[in-house]
Amino acid sequence: MPDREHEHTGIDAVPRPYIKIDDETTGTANITNSELAYLGYECGGGCSGLSYYGSNGTSIVKNNEIHHNRFGFYSVGVGNMVLEDNHVHHNFMYGFDPHTATHDIIIRNNIVHDHGAMGIICSLDCYNITIEDNEVYNSAGSGIMFSRNMYDSVARNNDVHDEVKCIFLSQSHNNEVYGNTVSNCESQGIYLYHNSIENNIIQ
């Protein structure tokens, strides 16, 4: 279970460099084969580490090591992205956090672990999100979470283990959860309401 090394230390209030793809960005903003570390702080918006507020086209975040940031990844109102083959670990808050009205995102084949909050969370009016073939473990909250009106999305073929809640759907609807393996979940393996679940392995 979480080792609690992520307890609040004030690090998120200390200004640090960050990467922000602004809402007026045109074209794609690809980040590949890189190490992104020790970025981001709490500034009220846009300084979380790696943040996408805009892009035009299919942006790719692939084959990176993303660690010890405030957030591993954060987005607002962005569509058509692929987050693939990344090692995302030991971030202060979330690993992946596609947020408000983010849509048409694929989160695939990543290793996501040891975060201060959720491993992968999509929250607030997100839709058409595909979360597949990831290994997610040992964060302080849920491994994978659908939150606050997330809809028409899927979590499939993920290996989620050693979490408080392995896969948790809250205030969301019309989603599918199938083909996942969840194990060693402290309180709940898969929790959902008004969604579809089938063919998962719960150990």
38 within domain boundaries: yes
Residue 69 clears pLDDT 60, i.e. is over it: yes
Q: Tell me if residue 11 falls in helix, strand or coil.
A: helix
Bridging pattern class, strands 159-170 and 65-67: unpaired
Residue 105 is part of which domain span? 20-202
CATH code (residue 194): 2.160.20.10
Q: Tell me if residue 107 falls in helix, strand or coil.
A: strand
Burial 3-40 (b: 16+ CB within 10 A, else e): eeebeeeeebeeeeebbbbeeebeeebebeeeebeebb
Task: For residue 168, list its beta bridge partners.
Answer: 145, 191
Q: Tell me if residue 177 falls in helix, strand or coil.
A: strand
Question: Could you report how far apart the first and last alpha carbons of the chain are, in Å?
Answer: 15
92 within domain boundaries: yes
Interval 87-139: pLDDT, tens: 999 999 999 999 999 999 999 999 999 999 999 999 999 999 999 999 999 99
14 within domain boundaries: no
4 within domain boundaries: no
5 within domain boundaries: no
Interval 152-178: pLDDT, tens: 999 999 999 999 999 999 999 999 999
70 within domain boundaries: yes
Helix or strand run (H / E) with residue 83: strand 79-84
Report the domain count for the chain.
1
The pLDDT of residue 24 is 83
- The pTM of this model reads 0.90
